[in-house]
Amino acid sequence: MFQSPYPSIEIPDQSIYDYLFGSLEESDLGRVALVDPASGAETTYGALRAQVDAFAGALAARGADTETVVAMLCPNVPAFATVFHGILRAGSIVTTVNSLYTAGEIEKQLRDAAATWLVTVTPLLSQAHQAAQAVGIPDDHVIVLDGAEGHPDLRSLLAEGRTPPEVRFDPATHVAVLPYSSGTTGVPKGVMLSHRNLVANVHQCRPVIEIGPDDRVLAVLPFFHIYGMTVLLNLALRQRATLVTMPRFDLMEFLRIVQDQRCTFLFIAPPIAVALAKHPAVDQFDLSSVHSVFSGAAPLDGETAETAGRRIGARFFQGYGMSELSPVSHAIPADSDMPVSSVGVLLPGCDARLVDPETGADLEEHGDDGFTAPGEIWVRGPNVMLGYLNRPDATAETLDADGFLHTGDIGVHHVDGFFTIVDRLKELIKYHGYQIAPAELEALLLSHPQIQDAAVIGVRADDGEEIPKAFVVAAPDSGLSAADVMAFVAGEVAPHKKVRRVEFIDIIPKSTSGKILRKDLRARETA
C-alpha cells in the first residue's frame, strides 16, 4: 500500500456550489473571475454568483429538479461557468458533451444519460438540434446561450431575476456530473461523480497545485472534459484566480492571449507542450508572465517538458488522473524537485497499490535503480466515482470491494515517493514475450529534432508476431526517411524495443484532451 505524503484532510460535507461560492468573502466579490479575451468582457465573482443563482431559479421555474439531467454542448466561454454551476445549484445533473461530436454521437449520449434539456451555442446548434429532435427534447428545452429564434437564451433567462430553489440532497450520493469516458478504447460510459467527488478533488488539489488570487489562468483545455472541469474551472474559482477563456486551441491565438492577458499559470495537454518546445512561432511572443505550466490528460515525456520549460522560462509540472477519479490522483508538488517525467505523489486522502497484471501480486520492493517493477495502478480515495451509469458490470470490473479503482494504467513507484506512468495496460505491445510501452518509444521519437510528433502502436508482422510501428510527423523539408527513424530508435533502445515499421502522416489523431487516438491509427491498418 502506498499512501500520500500529505496529512489526511477532512472533506467538507457540502455541495460543489456551497464549497465554491458559499465561501466567498466581501473582498472576493469585486475580483475578476472570468475574462473573455475576444471581447475584453470581465465577470466578477459577485456577478458570477448572482448569475448562477438566477440561472438555477430559471431552470427550477421550468420544472428542473434533482432528477433532471441537462446536457451541455458548449465551448469554453464565460457563460459556461454560469450555466454549469447554475444547473448544479438547482440540484440537477450535468452531462457535458464533446464540442466536436457529430449529431449521431450527441444523440447517443443524450439517450444514455436520459437528458431532457440541452444547452448549446449557435455554432453548434445544427447538430445539437438534430440530436435533440431525435431523442424528443422540445425546442423550449434547448437553450441557445447566444440566442436563436424559437429557443430560450441566457440573457432572457437571467433577466427573469428568479431566486434559486431550496434543494436538499446528500452530497456523497447525489450525482452532480456525468462526463463520458473518452472512448479511446471501448464504448463511452457515463461516469457518475457526486458533489462530494467534485468537492473532494478540488480540496485535495489545493495543497499540491498552488494557484492563488493573483494568478491569471488560461482556460484552453475544454471545460466539458473532467480535467478542465475540475482543475481549471473549479480549482481556479475556489482559489479566486482569474480564468481567461479560450473556445478552441489555435497555437498563434494561444500565444497571443498568453502574452496580451499576461497569463501566469497554464494548464495544458502534451500536444501543447510539444508546440512550446519545438514550434518556431513561440519565439515571436513575450511569455515571461508565465511561471507555471501543468500538463495532464496524457503522458508527457520529461525531455519535451524540460525543453519547453527552458524556452519560455517556466516551471513544468505533471499530474495523473482519469474521469473516474474526478480526475486527479497524483501531481508533482509546486515546491518539489521531482523529475517532470514523473506524475508526482498521491494527493492527500489517496491510497494506491501497484499490482502485477499477470499474477495479481502487490509490487512494493524497490530495485537498485530506486524503482519498483511496473504494475497496474489501483487508487482509493474520496474522489473515486460512484460507478458507471447503468453499467453495473463495467463498474464491478473497475471498482473492487475494497474501494480501489483499477485504472488500467501501468506505473512504477520510486523510493523517493513519486510515481511514473509507463503506459496503458491495454496498449502494451508484446514482442517475443517482451512488453514494450508505446509511450517510451513516443518520448524517444519526440527527442529527434526532425520529428514534430509521433505515435506508436502494435501491428502484426507477416509471421503473426506483434511489432512496434511508428507514425511520424516529420519537420517540413527534413528529408527524413523510415530507415533514418528506425536507425535512430535502434541506437537508443534494447533490441526488442526497436521500431520495425514507420509511416509518415500529416497529423497524429488526438482527442480534445490530448490523448492519442490509437484506434484511429489501427483503423488505417485495416482500411
Pick from 265, 205, 253, 232: nearest CA to 81? 232
Instruction: Specify the pLDDT at position 432.
Output: 67
- CA dist 516 and 299 (Å) reads 10
Q: In whole angstroms, what is the distance from residue 74 CA to residue 142 CA?
A: 12
282 φ, ψ (degrees, to nearest 5): -55, -35
pTM comes to: 0.86
Residue 515: predicted pLDDT: 80
Distance CA 79, CA 81 (A): 5
| Opening angle at CA 284, ends 279 and 289, nearest 5 | 100
Q: CB within 8 A of 454, min separation 6: which ones?
A: 442, 445, 446, 470, 471, 472, 473, 508
Q: What is the pLDDT of residues 42-84, one digit of tens each?
A: 999 999 999 999 999 999 999 999 999 999 999 999 999 999 9
**Cα–Cα distances in angstroms (integers) from residue 136 to residues 110, 115, 118, 125, 377, in the given order:** 10, 10, 11, 16, 42
Predicted local confidence at residue 183, as pLDDT: 37
Share of the chain above pLDDT 90, in %: 82
Q: Which of 267, 333, 109, 94 is nearest to 192 (CA)?
A: 94
Peptide bond into 327 cis (omega under 30): yes
Q: pLDDT by residue (tens digit) across 406-439?
A: 999 999 999 999 999 987 777 778 776 666 878 8
Q: Sheet of 419-424: strands edge to edge?
A: 2-3, 351-355, 375-380, 405-413, 419-424
Mapped onto helix, strand or coil, the DSSP state of residue 82 is helix
Q: What is the pLDDT of residue 186?
A: 55
From CA 98, how far away is CA 86, in angstroms rounded?
Answer: 20
User: Which parts of the chain register pLDDT below 50?
Assistant: 183-185
Residue 185, pLDDT score: 44
* Ordered domains of the chain (ranges, CATH): 31-36+45-168 (3.40.50.980), 428-526 (3.30.300.30)
Say what the pLDDT of residue 512 is. Answer: 73
Q: How many residues does the chain have?
A: 527
Q: Which three cell numbers stand for residue 351?
A: 491510497
